[in-house]
Structure 1
Amino acid sequence: MLPRCLGNFSSSLKVLSVGNNYFHGTLPHFCSTNGSDLMLIDVSRNQLQRKLPRSLANCLRLQSLVLSNNKFDDVFPIWLGTLPELKVLAMRNSGFHGVIPRHQSNHDGFPNLRILDLSQNNFTGQFAFEFILSGKSMRGIDLNGLEYMTAFDFLIYESGPSSWYLGASYSYEYSITLMNKGLDRYFQKVREDFMAIDLSSNRFEGKIPEFIGNLKGLRSLNVSNNILTSRIPSSLGNLTYLEALDLSHNNILGEIPPSLLQLSFLQQFSV
């Protein structure tokens, strides 16, 4: 099991990366106060069980939470929507289930979310598009130059004969495995402007709302293997950076909207 005392170090610990092991039991209670420095938690590909500790809502500096491929038994943690810096939430194949509530709030949830992977769980009902995906980040980020998501940067200084000098600089860069263009792809680095949504292999129902066309930063959208109905929204034509679109294995009907001809970056399209 992960030692309980890990939670005691969350005030100074910045990165917890323990993926691809055989840890079981429950997650420790991180961030018992709002003073935590934790920026990244990756416990993917283990055998963790039961519920997420609600103390995670106190991790106000948390940018990436990767829970994929575990054995949790919990509902969607809507309470994580208050985290101001959360960019990555990956919960693929982790035993989550139930209806995601439509939060009754005047404020957008998940304001900085850029990557959401809920695939291969047992979620039901209508997906709360407007609450979870209303943040400014999903509407596109303008970057000067190529920037990658990093948890922190640090410098190493070395002593010389008469003074200290800069020896090297390092940064802890995020990495993640996502379904991309029909294949599992390992991203050794994640660009700040990369945005992806994967809701596939659940039991989401209802229609894909026209609202989805507001998420102009999207590169990949996968809602396959659900029980979605109605038509393909014409607003998908507004997603000019979209590279992969998978709507297959649903109950969608009607024509493919002509507006999708505008998607000049689209490389993979499955219906």
Structure 2
Amino acid sequence: MLNKGLDTLSYLNLSHDFQTHIERLPWKNMKTLDLHSNFIQGALPLPPLTVSFFSISNNSLIGELSSLICNRTSVEILDLSYNNLNGTIPPCLGNFSKRLSVLDLRMNRFQGTIPDTFDQKCGLNNINFNGNELEGSIPPSLVHCRNMQVLDLGNNKIKDTFPRWLETLPELQVLVLRSNKLHCFLPSTTTNHSLPELRTLDFANNDLAGPLPKGYVENMKGMWNLDEQGTSSYMGTRNFSYHYSVSLTIKGFEIKLEKILTIFASIDL
């Protein structure tokens, strides 16, 4: 099969299978490559240069994430979650693809700091680095990601004060910073329109102090305005039918939401 459709195959889904090794990915015009939920071992195989969707989550990959991944400038969704990848996050991940909308590296063993390289053309909607060993501060350049809907940096070792610039992200709906080393008093909101779309907020297990800024709740129209038609949908990308997911602690229990309803709301402090 590796020699079939070398110039023509554009879609391949081998998810939820029993694949254990991927030696090479030779297709020249591949757009969608889904290998998630297998038993693939070894180093991360680099997808074809033309790929737009690449998921190899829920496998047994080891080793570092090569900076060669940044040559895949057509990628829109990159999901490497739930593996055993380690080392540092390549700095180029912050700006290698203007098309990138989802960057999911959660539940690996990445160390070091989050690169402060997100440029003004950042198109990311979803960043999930939950469950790694990341340290340092939350990079201020994330403020350039004006379309950000989900930011999950929970369960790391990030040591920083509360990043006030997050208030300026107009589309942010899910913010998870739990179980880090954030410290200082929570600031009062600096604008009457802080985080207007926010519906899910998790700051628990940090060293933050002071009253919760009332503006965060008063301005959270996304938390109390239901869809005008009374309907709901799931957060995600339409073009690849890819649904966002997030891990939250609700009433003391950690729950992984495989899909996030657009009317779901939660606060954990």
Give the TM-score taking structure 2 as reference length.
Answer: 0.71
* Correspondence 1:87-106 to 2 at 5 A: 87-103=101-117
Q: Give the whole-Å Cα distance in 1 for the aligned partners of 2:62 and 2:142.
A: 25
Instruction: Give 5+ residue unaligned stretches, structure 1.
Output: 139-194
1:216 to 147, 154, 170: 170
The alignment status of 1:268 with 2:222, answered yes or no, reads no
Instruction: Give 5+ residue unaligned stretches, structure 2.
Output: 1-19, 224-264
* Correspondence 1:129-208 to 2 at 5 A: 130-138=140-148, 195-208=149-162
Question: Which residue number in structure 2 is paired with residue 49 of structure 1?
Answer: 62
Question: Which residue number in structure 1 is paired with residue 194 of structure 2?
Answer: 238
SS at 1:50's partner residue? Answer: strand
SS at 2:160's partner residue? Answer: strand
Contact 1:40 1:63 in 2 (8 A): yes
Deviations 1:88-143 (A, max 9, x none): 0111111111122434xxx7167111101100110011121x223412323xxxxx
The alignment status of 1:259 with 2:215, answered yes or no, reads yes
Moved more, 195-204 or 51-60: 51-60
Contact 1:30 1:55 in 2 (8 A): no
Question: Which residue number in structure 2 is paired with residue 126 of structure 1?
Answer: 137
Q: Over aligned residue pairs, what C-alpha RMSD do you find?
A: 1.9
Percent of aligned pairs with the same amino acid: 24
**Structure with greater contact order relative to length (CA < 8 Å, sep ≥ 6):** 1
Report the count of equivalent residues: 205
SS at 2:87's partner residue? Answer: coil
Deviations 1:38-91 (A, max 9, x none): 001101000001012322111111000101110111212321222111100111
| Amino acid in the other structure paired with 1:75 | T
Rg comparison, structure with higher value: 1
Question: Which residue number in structure 1 is paired with residue 124 of structure 2?
Answer: 113
SS at 1:132's partner residue? Answer: helix
